[in-house]
Amino acid sequence: AQSVTQPDIHITVSEGASLELRCNYSYGATPYLFWYVQSPGQGLQLLLKYFSGDTLVQGIKGFEAEFKRSQSSFNLRKPSVHWSDAAEYFCAVNNNNDMRFGAGTRLTVKP
Amino acid sequence: SAVISQKPSRDICQRGTSLTIQCQVDSQVTMMFWYRQQPGQSLTLIATANQGSEATYESGFVIDKFPISRPNLTFSTLTVSNMSPEDSSIYLCSGGLAGSGNEQFFGPGTRLTVL
């Protein structure tokens, strides 16, 4: 069965610093991978997705993610974090409309 | 993309009562889903809402507790029946096109507190 692991429950970074959120997946075939962000009291917003082609995917709000098949990873990155990026981030894998989410990583941004 | 709205945005209910949550999509989607997000947790799929037929429930969720309707392509309801404090969660509706490569679009969620 497919699964998603986000090893970091909570990460704190300073504003302007770089960010990397980790995501590992377990899935037999080519995965369809997504990153979502959830701000407090809000629903989920799609940041980016990967299902084929270039392994470096660009998303909204300056985020990018790199798919590495050899490491079963799909880590999310941002070169310079803004205070408004503080939120919960979820990695997800979709197999035939069965979307499974990781446990989430809560990002705190220090001024 | 699709814009999804939910009503109510939040509610406080008494134990033993039921609450019906509405989900409206602004464009036609082939798939609609209902998720539960317990405090501080990730999302857990409750069921896939099927147009004009019974929903498909995930393990651990049953129709008697969470009856779901989807009378047309753009509207669905989830009822949380005979509520207990353990049902206090955020309930999220999502929609999208069929196919693994397609993302789901999420509503803002309904924050339910059961006293």
B-chain CB neighbours of A102 within 8 Å are 42
Nearest residue, CB atoms, B104 vs list A41, A51, A99: A99
Q: What whole-number distance in Å separates Cα of residue B71 and Cα of residue B50? A: 9
How do residues B51-76 score in pLDDT, each as one tens digit? Answer: 988 999 999 999 999 999 999 999 99
B-chain CB neighbours of A51 within 8 Å are 100-101
* Dihedral, B64, B68, B56, B90 alpha carbons, nearest 10: -90
A-chain CB neighbours of B109 within 8 Å are 42-43
pLDDT at position B29:
84
How do residues A13-60 score in pLDDT, each as one tens digit? Answer: 999 999 999 999 987 677 789 999 999 888 899 999 998 888 899 999
